[in-house]
Amino acid sequence: MRLLGKLLVACMALAIVASCSRTPPSGGYRNAPGPGANSQLGDRAPHSWDYAAPYGHQVHGIDISRWQGDIDWNRVRGAGISFAFIKATEGGDHLDPNFHRYWREAGQARIPRGAYHFYYFCRSGAENAAWFIRNVPREAGSLPPVLDMEWSHSKTCPRRPSASEIKREAEVFLQLVGRHYGQRPIIYTTVDFYRDNQMGDMRAEFWLRSVANHPSRIYPGQRWGFWQYTGTGIVPGIKGDTDLNAFAGSATDWARWLQTRMVR
């Protein structure tokens, strides 16, 4: 109860009730039980974790795009989801058709949400940044922007730049977008992209995809804030598979993180 009290005080001080999304302290994921898990969430194809499963983390969230269709955001929040990263833009001319609706609905449900941009290698970092800034509101209380960097299979842009070019242009994006929103973006990346381009050299908070082992095993030595641990998650209020993510710290750490990393 002391932990809950501290969390509520932090939330009220920030006037962000959304950060207090309920995360049940005990139970198990359907088909993948684990201590400290949220019993309302599940996984259609759970991995058999041999080391440090994600289910015991206190703070879980989702990332979504148009493919999730209609979402009952109040059910999502009631299931204990504490944050949502929503796909906004791609490259220099693509806007996810559901972005603005999801952004509005998640906000109405008081779920802390942020926007992510899928990087397109046939545009410069400045062009990618300009498109994101054009389409994503600078709204107080939202989560920091996210730069999604992974190899794409685009027929319109099959090129794979050198690691030095990728990191140089990514830094341009981080600086421009960070300056606009007042928060340096988080970098989301995948195992192969991280290794191919030595992304650990980047000065950023990382959101790592690792669906077969703990990030400490897959990205040795890399600090991270978020862990995408499955693409087949089950979330009340969302039809079909959903990406599930864990925050690196406790519920108290999450409240502190929100204090420092929310857009103002």
Report pLDDT digits (tens) over 12-67.
444 343 333 333 333 335 554 443 567 889 999 999 898 899 998 999 999 999 99
Q: Which CATH architecture has domain 2-44+54-261?
A: Alpha-Beta Barrel (3.20)
Marked catalytic residue, from 43, 63, 105, 148: 63
Catalytic annotation present for 63: yes
Tokens of 118: 């899928």
- Are residues 248 and 229 in contact, defined by beta-carbon separation less than 8 angstroms? no
- Pairing mode, strands 226-234 and 42-43: antiparallel
**Bridge partners, 246 (sequence order):** 60, 227
Q: Describe the chain by its helix, strand, coil percentages, rounded to 5.
A: 35, 20, 40
More confident residue, 248 or 21: 248
Which of 170, 166, 174, 182 shows the shortest CA–CA distance to 263? 182
- Using the predicted structure, report yes or no on whether residue 144 has a pLDDT greater than 70: yes
| pLDDT at residue 39 in the model | 82
Q: 72, 139, 150, 241: which one is catalytic?
A: 150
**Rg of the chain taking only CA atoms, in angstroms:** 18
Residue 105 bears catalytic tag: no
Report d(CA 242, CA 252) in Å as an integer.
Answer: 26
199, 189 contact by CB (below 8 A): yes
